[in-house]
Amino acid sequence: MLGVESSMTADESLLTRPKDVNDNQQLFRIQTDINTDNTQFSIKGLNYASQYASLYFVRLNLLRPRVLAAAQKRWSTVSSLPQHVPRVVDVQTGVLCYIIGTVFLDMSEKPNILDEVSREEWTALPTPKNKYVSEKDAVLLEDESGRIVLTGDIIKTTVFMTGVIAALLGSENQEGEFQVLDVCYAAFDPQPPLPISTDSDHPWIALVSGLNFEGDGQYDMRYELLRDFLTGESGTFQDQLKISHISRLVICGNTMAQLHVSAETLQKAKLKFHGPDPNEYNEWVVDTVDQFLVSVGQSMPVDVVPGATDPTTSFLPQQPIHSSIFHSACNLTSLSMVTNPYTATVGGTRQSLDDMYKMTNVAEGVDLASEVLKWGHVAPTAPDTLPCYPFSQNDPMVITVRPHLYIIGNQTKFDTKVIELCGDGEPTLETTRVILVPSFSNTGTVVLVNLATLDYKTVEFGTCI
């Protein structure tokens, strides 16, 4: 055997920490004060006796004053001084005016209750479609008094959505249709400024979505890499220094994979408008999620937002996943089970955006999310084509203040866009960064956002053999 003489001195080793690093130096994670109070989305005392019509009237009554204020300001300089007509059935032919009501898309391809009936009777269902848009579609505006069909070139160039409250400037033509000249949406309360930080060490948050833990026992190293990255157990000292600036993890829906329920079980349980039954989940899945939440939650605060595949209600607003199913993680004070939608003072998830996507010709999710910020409602298509709770006194999904950060999870790819819109009565622009967080199980991507500047980074985890 050949001997090899070492060129290292006695005080050197391959495992020695770099000389520019103090052996006694400790890293502490940056802390941020974030209020995740989501009482507005919490449902107390479930009551399903109310009709969904009341939700539309509540939404209209909530937004009508704000829409009227914006319309009066927008059209006050029109030379002919159009007047507001309180009821759509009172518009007069050829008289310029503006009306306020709820937009309705009459779409022949849109699903209806007959689809639910056929599903119950186990007959063949229509083939699912990516888009419900067709040449036969019509746009209407309705209020408590009735409906009126909308027409005009602006109808073809503007994105309309069922359930949106809008003001329309125009006049009735000879065919009894309302010729639209301009559109106006609700005014917003002033957007508070981002907190000014004098410290160069700005806090960041990590956004991950679509973890989709499964119960088939398949091993995926990306989840271990993600855990080690978030907890600072991987990388160099400089990497760990950067990771210490990540103050929070937000899991944006679909922590668990889609539950595959047999036809026999589905028929027996009558799961029509209910979420997946927690009892159907593989115990291995729950234990795996529990271990992941414990390992990360011991290092940083974690917010878990439910998604379409998680064990909670399927209708909006989705209620928090019950923490008791996670035997160890439920004891962590750093773990927060929150609602969907979810807001934090310093972020819906995929269902509402996917549903709206089918109703328009808009190709990119960030562009559709931009329209949501104009409309002032997180899920306008609920309850028409998106299940939601039948609120009779309030609509918690109305947006009153534009957020600085609008996050939508479980997307096919990462995308982001900065939206600049004028605030009510303010000459300055209000800024919102829209972020589409891709499914981690498909892309291995985590998004990092600077809470002080709204800058972003993406980190991708992969496996090589």
The string of DSSP letters for 146-208 reads -EEEEESHHHHHS---TT-EEEEEEEE-TTS-EEEEEEE----BPPPPPPP--SSS--EEEEE
Q: What fold, for 52-184?
A: OB fold (Dihydrolipoamide Acetyltransferase, E2P) (2.40.50)
- ∠ Cα 167 408 64 (to 5°): 20
- Residues in the chain predicted with pLDDT less than 70, given as ranges, are 1-27, 32-37, 112-128, 196-200, 215-219, 259-282, 345-351, 423-428, 463-465
For residue 388, which of 67, 54, 137 has the smallest C-alpha distance? Answer: 54
What is the per-residue pLDDT for 344? 77
For residue 392, the 8-state DSSP code is S
CB 419 within 8 A of CB 434: yes
What is the per-residue pLDDT for 1? 36
What is the per-residue pLDDT for 8? 41
pLDDT, tens digit (0-9, with 9 covering 90-100), for 130-188:
777 888 889 999 999 999 999 999 999 999 999 999 999 999 999 999 999 999 999 88
For residue 186, which of 377, 419, 38, 464 has the smallest C-alpha distance? Answer: 377
Predicted TM-score (pTM) of the model is 0.83
What is the per-residue pLDDT for 356? 85
Rounded distance, CA 383 to CA 450, Å? 35
Rounded distance, CA 131 to CA 383, Å? 18
Q: How many CA atoms lie within 13 A of 172 on its CB side?
A: 17
β-sheet with 405-411: strand ranges across: 405-411, 429-438, 415-422
What is the per-residue pLDDT for 357? 80
What is the per-residue pLDDT for 49? 72
Reply yes or no on domain 201-347+403-460 having CATH 3.60.21.50.
yes
Rounded distance, CA 286 to CA 284, Å? 6
Rounded distance, CA 48 to CA 392, Å? 10
Q: Which residues contact 144 (CB under 8 A, 6 or more apart)?
A: 57, 60, 87
What is the per-residue pLDDT for 199? 59
Amino acid identity for residue 40 in this structure: Q
Burial-class residue 122 by CB neighbours within 10 Å (0-12, 13-18, 19+): exposed
What is the per-residue pLDDT for 173? 95
Q: Which residues contact 445 (CB under 8 A, 6 or more apart)?
A: 414, 437, 438, 458, 459, 460, 461
Rounded distance, CA 426 to CA 300, Å? 38
For residue 310, which of 348, 253, 266 has the smallest C-alpha distance? Answer: 253
Domain with CATH 3.60.21.50 in the chain: 201-347+403-460
Domain with CATH 2.40.50.430 in the chain: 52-184
Quickly list DSSP for 74-130.
HTTT-TT-PEE-SSGGG--BT--EEEEEEEEEE-TTS--HHHHHHHHTTPPPPPP-S
What is the per-residue pLDDT for 5? 38
